[in-house]
Structure 1
């Protein structure tokens, strides 16, 4: 997916991207919660590979979601726009 560089976006596009990133952060939080539940279930039932794989995926989702949100927030703050 081609995405415009944040510094080239208009203020309206940037705010829309910020809203989208915030919504994605909520969805990612839900997905992470579900994965943690599956990992704990697997640990209780003596699994090992599945929890390790799930925690790696959780870390990836959390990092990616947070990086996108922080980049948009930083650009909005740098423009000093309400």
Structure 2
């Protein structure tokens, strides 16, 4: 697994920059997931069963990781704004 950043040790400005970067990566991640799903559908129609299942799992993993990263950043920003 890829290491994750510790958002609690970052400043509010760094968190805002990370949030902006993560939001900017939404379209490339959506394109990547769409490409993977498209290949999985094509493969299911032409080749078999194992590859589409694996590709759908990869698409789910990529989307989930990106979503968790963005939610973690937003939660830390929200926590700091309520404290101070």
TM-score, normalising length: structure 2: 0.83
Q: Secondary structure at the match of 1:80?
A: helix
Distance 2:45 2:80 in 1: 50
Gaps of at least 5 residues in structure 1 are: none
* Cα pair distance change 1:44/1:3, threshold 3 Å: closer
- What is the alpha-carbon distance in structure 2 between the residues aligned to residue 35 and residue 72 of structure 1? 26
Give the total of aligned pairs.
Answer: 81
How does the TM-score come out when normalised to structure 1? 0.85
The DSSP-based 3-state class of the residue aligned with 2:34 is helix
**Cα–Cα, structure 1 residues 76 and 49, in superposed 2: closer, same or farther, change >3 Å?**
same
CA RMSD of aligned residues (A): 2.0
Structure 2 equivalent of residue 41 of structure 1:
42
Unaligned runs of 5+ in 2: none
> Which SS does the other structure have where 2:25 is aligned?
helix
CA positional deviation for 1:46: 3.8
SS in 1 for 2:60: helix
